[in-house]
Amino acid sequence: MPILPPATIGILGGGQLGRMTALAARAMGYRVQVLDPDADCAARPVVDRVVAAPFDDPAGAAELARACDVITLEIEQIGPAALEAALAHAPLRPGAEVLRIVQHRGRQRRWLAEHGFPVGPYALVTSAAALADAAASIGPSLFVKSCQGGYDGRSQLRFAAGDDAGQAFDQLGQRESVAEQALDLALELSVLVARRAGGAEIVVYPPAVNHHERQVLTWSVLPGELPTGVASRAQDIARGIAESLHLEGILAVEMFLLRDGRLLVNELAPRPHNSYHASELGSPTSQFEQLVRAVCDLPLGAVQPSRPAAIVNLFGDLWAEGGAPDFAAALTVPQTRLFLYGKRNARPGRKMGHLGATGDTPGEALQRARDAAARL
């Protein structure tokens, strides 16, 4: 049954994704509350209430849910007890089982393989010896990622031939990790899927093409320019994953296109995703509005871009180099927009906002966004 405005949506997490989801919900007439450990989180200025509590606090989650008609999230790392506490008072979308699978990289990778979705060679490692064995069995060049936590390259490392397995495992905090074979990539892409509560409707966005530096997204363009047939294959994989998970909400599926033409799934994110920020500029329905529609059991919006769009992330390094960036100069580039997240304490590597641009072609949109960023 649809949850109509002026109902209250609760969001687990008050970071930039929660902030942008709240803005979309407010535009549709909803009220919004969030739970976040920081009472002065990025979402605070645009929501009705912040419940300041850790992400693993059942009491805080219950307090949020009692005041809301539906609960969704903008970060995966919510404690299982907190999820159950929220679910006791309001529908939780996506559900706890989706998060249980996604929260643990080893569990996620195993689920994908068992359900027939393409993944690269990997091994679960729980010791330095297991890491050395993985290098011997699946290849000496690996990416090693802790199974839980870590984002934007944190709790991850590159392991190469000759590296000391003991030192590497210590660097990861001796935590259970996934060792993945380093692959010969042509490019990285992602596909966003939205599935309405109850599964009555599903829509799949065209793939975005993404560029990472130091394992952090630098820019993204939507729709991405891809070899013939790749877009439809990627969309089919993403749709299949969402349906198999019985998703209620949205899901970003990160993928690798290998030079030999294979498509492999990298990671899943059951929430808004940095690579689909361009949907606010070029798509009839942004990812944030689509999330609201999906979890409130409303008809889903159109996803085919009306024009190409691209984004370039803005990191705290720009502020650390002396004063505020020259946003006025950046906005002299035609068809650009500025999005800042309201974060305090700019620091190197921290996402503080992004610049977006549109164009007649994906290449033109990306060039405008990059030109604007260069003027900062």
One domain, residues 232 and 267: yes
Helices (H), the chain: 16-27, 58-66, 80-87, 96-103, 105-114, 128-138, 165-171, 230-244, 279-282, 287-295, 317-320, 327-330, 362-374
One domain, residues 149 and 278: no
* Domain CATH code at residue 134: 3.30.1490.20
185-198: pLDDT as tens digits: 999 999 999 999 99
How many Å is the maximal CA-CA distance in the chain? 60
Choose the final residue of a domain: 181, 200, 220: 181
- Residue 322 clears pLDDT 70, i.e. is over it: no
One domain, residues 234 and 340: yes
In this structure, the dihedral spanned by the alpha carbons of residues 78, 84, 90 and 93, taken in order and rounded to 10 degrees, is 50
Strands 202-204 and 249-258: unpaired
Model pTM above 0.85: yes
pLDDT at 150: 60
The average confidence (pLDDT) of the chain is 95
One domain, residues 75 and 199: no
Choose the final residue of a domain: 129, 146, 181: 181
Which range marks the domain in which residue 35 is found? Answer: 8-92
127-140: pLDDT as tens digits: 999 998 988 899 88
One domain, residues 364 and 248: yes
